[in-house]
Amino acid sequence: MQYGRIPAYRPRVTDQNESVIAMIRRTFLTLAASAGAVAIMGAAGFGGLLVGTAGAQSTEELMKPGPLGEMALGDPNAPNVVIEYASMTCSHCASFHTETFGALKEKYIDTGKVYFIFREYPLDALATAAFMLARCGPQERYFPLVDLMFDRQGEWAFTENPKQALLNFVRQAGFTEESFNACLTDKELQDGVLAVKNTASNDFKVTSTPTFFINGDLHRGGFSIEEFDEILAD
């Protein structure tokens, strides 16, 4: 999937909160100490494998945006709404975005049939950091960077030094080491990302990624375009 050139990073006003800095540093150091631990983040039990429905949620509650606002594609007045909860370190999420999302976008989102909402559900501190970096800067750079991170997930998520790998990776999106650190120490931004996850867990029974709400019905696991065809046809 290609969304065009990624605009350069623009710094945000940050809250230099020592507890957040310590959390990110401690997590990165722990992950760096064990390549096996890093691999577990994206593979062990994080991607949903079950496909099914768990009943319709309250449309009004489900459609409320988080504190950072929605990241969405398509026509808000489309007849169908697809909400995806994903983690940047989830290998099943990466597979969906590299193998299926392009067809979904071309067939349903770009044609006005689906309004697609992408919501953050980080499964670990590294995924939280990746979402924070995607949120930093202008809104138009969000999906291009998320797309690139999923497409080349192995280059930054599953390494012995994920912090350095992530920094090296996002340099191509215009980040410097200074702006990288400034983004990851933005307490308000981190809280906003985690608030989306907490609401999904507490109110909507989201427990794994990817999880989809298709017109209010909960579906767990990655979907093929053919499965979307069947669901949306109904």
User: Three-class SS string for 68-117?
Assistant: CCCEEECCCCCCEEEEEEECCCCHHHHHHHHHCHHHHHHHHHCCCCEEEE
The predicted pLDDT at position 79 comes to 96
The answer to whether residue 2 sits within a structural domain is no
> What percent of the chain shows pLDDT beyond 90?
70
Q: Taking each helix axis as running N to C, give the angle between helix 162-170 and helix 18-32, from 0 to 180 degrees, rounded to the nearest 10.
A: 110
The answer to whether residue 200 sits within a structural domain is yes
Q: What is the pLDDT of residues 52-107, one digit of tens each?
A: 444 445 778 999 999 999 999 999 999 999 999 999 999 999 999 999 999 999 99
The answer to whether residue 15 sits within a structural domain is no
Range of lowest pLDDT (5-9, 163-167, 177-181, 197-201): 5-9
Name the pLDDT band for 172 (thresholds 50, 70, 90): confident
218 beta partners: 213
Q: Which two tokens stand for residue 209?
A: 């990624």
> What percent of the chain shows pLDDT beyond 70?
76
| Burial of residue 76, with CB atoms counted within 10 A of its CB: 0-12 exposed, 13-18 middle, 19 or more buried | exposed
Name the pLDDT band for 122 (thresholds 50, 70, 90): very high
Tell me how many domains the chain contains: 1
The answer to whether residue 217 sits within a structural domain is yes
Residue 47 pLDDT greater than 80, yes or no: no
On whether the pTM is more than 0.85, the answer is: no
The answer to whether residue 12 sits within a structural domain is no
The amino acid at residue 105 is: K
Domain of 57, CATH number, reads 3.40.30.10
Residue whose tokens read 């998320």: 146
Domain enclosing residue 65, as ranges: 22-233
Name the pLDDT band for 216 (thresholds 50, 70, 90): very high
The answer to whether residue 42 sits within a structural domain is yes
Residue 147 pLDDT greater than 60, yes or no: yes
The answer to whether residue 202 sits within a structural domain is yes
Residue 4 DSSP SS3: coil
The predicted pLDDT at position 69 comes to 96
The answer to whether residue 163 sits within a structural domain is yes
Q: What is the pLDDT of residues 9-22, one digit of tens each?
A: 343 433 434 434 45
CA atoms of 146 and 131, how far apart (whole Å): 8
Q: In whole numbers, what is the pLDDT of the chain averaged over residues?
A: 82
